[in-house]
Structures are given as C-alpha cells and as structure tokens.
C-alpha cells in the first residue's frame, strides 16, 4: 500500500485517498485510490517516493553476528522509520549533504531476526507512520556468530 504517489506531470507528492463508506462490518482488505488531475485532465502515472535502494560493502550473502553492510536509498519524503533485517534503525540522516539521500550501516547483532534480510521504509502519514517500500537485500541473517570463512551457502 502506497499512501503517497509522485505525479509524473507535476513531480509533486500526492496523498492517497481512502474510501469513506464501509458497507461491511468486517474488513479484509483496504482499497486505496490515488488520483491527480491538471486542469481537469487525469494524470495517472504515479511513482513511489522511495527509490534506488542499493546494498553493498559485504561480499557475504549469509550474515552472522558482527557482519555489516551499507544500505542506500533515495526518498522525496523524509522517512519516519527504516527497518533493516527486522530491526529499526536510528533516525534517517541525509548523507553527503544531499537532501533525499539516506544511508545506513547495518550490523547484525545477537537477537536479530533470522532469515531473509529485508529493507522497509516507513513514511509519515496522518497520526502515525505507514510502510511504503519493501525490498529484499539479497542477504540472509543466520543465528550464529560468523566464523570468518567466506561461504555462499
């Protein structure tokens, strides 16, 4: 679910609108619609405000405790939270003095979630935050301290 979209015509962020009438007592899904128009003409092309995620600095695909790698991404809206490999990161800080560019060094710690490592980016929305971007890093966290051997298990 993407609460914001970027209009390809105006390059402005557009907030999604949610249906106001619910005809069922139980809700099994939420439908979100985003629309923009310029002078009454619809501009349907919207893009996610988060883009360009890249993962590097470690040749290992299976990570143990104390292994680390860098995560970079761009966002037109400052993220409220970032989660890497199941753990929230400190507040995003613009890197290299460039607005909208974010970078984190994630180091695996004891107690981290074991399994596929995923990047989640949360943007501010209304009274809270909403996950708007998810991407696999291509790395997996294992439960044991790294032995130092390079393994493509």
Q: Closest Cα partner for 69 from 52, 97, 89, 98?
A: 89
Instruction: Please give the domain boundaries of the chain with CATH numbers for all domains.
Output: 1-47 (no CATH), 50-145 (2.60.40.10)
Sequential pLDDT tens for the chain (153 residues): 455 665 656 656 666 655 555 554 455 555 555 555 555 555 555 568 888 898 886 778 899 999 999 899 998 888 888 999 988 887 766 565 678 888 888 899 888 889 999 999 988 877 778 788 899 999 999 866 555 555 454
Distance CA(123)–CA(125), nearest Å, equals: 6
Residues facing 145 on adjacent strands: 65
Q: What is the 8-class DSSP label of residue 94?
A: B
């Amino acid at each position: 679910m993407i609460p914001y979209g970027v209009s390809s015509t105006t390059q402005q962020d557009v907030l999604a609108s949610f249906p106001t009438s619910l005809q069922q007592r139980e809700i099994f899904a939420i439908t979100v619609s985003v629309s923009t128009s310029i002078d009454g003409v619809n501009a349907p092309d919207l893009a996610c405000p988060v883009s360009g995620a890249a993962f590097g600095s470690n040749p290992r695909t299976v990570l143990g405790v104390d292994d680390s790698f860098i995560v970079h991404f761009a966002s037109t809206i400052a993220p409220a939270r970032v989660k890497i490999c199941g753990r929230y990161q400190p507040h995003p800080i613009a890197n290299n003095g460039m607005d909208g560019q974010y970078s984190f060094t994630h180091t695996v710690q004891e107690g981290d979630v074991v399994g596929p490592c995923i990047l989640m980016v949360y943007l501010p929305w209304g009274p809270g935050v909403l996950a708007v971007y998810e991407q696999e890093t291509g790395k997996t966290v294992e439960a044991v301290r790294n032995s130092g051997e390079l393994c493509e298990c």
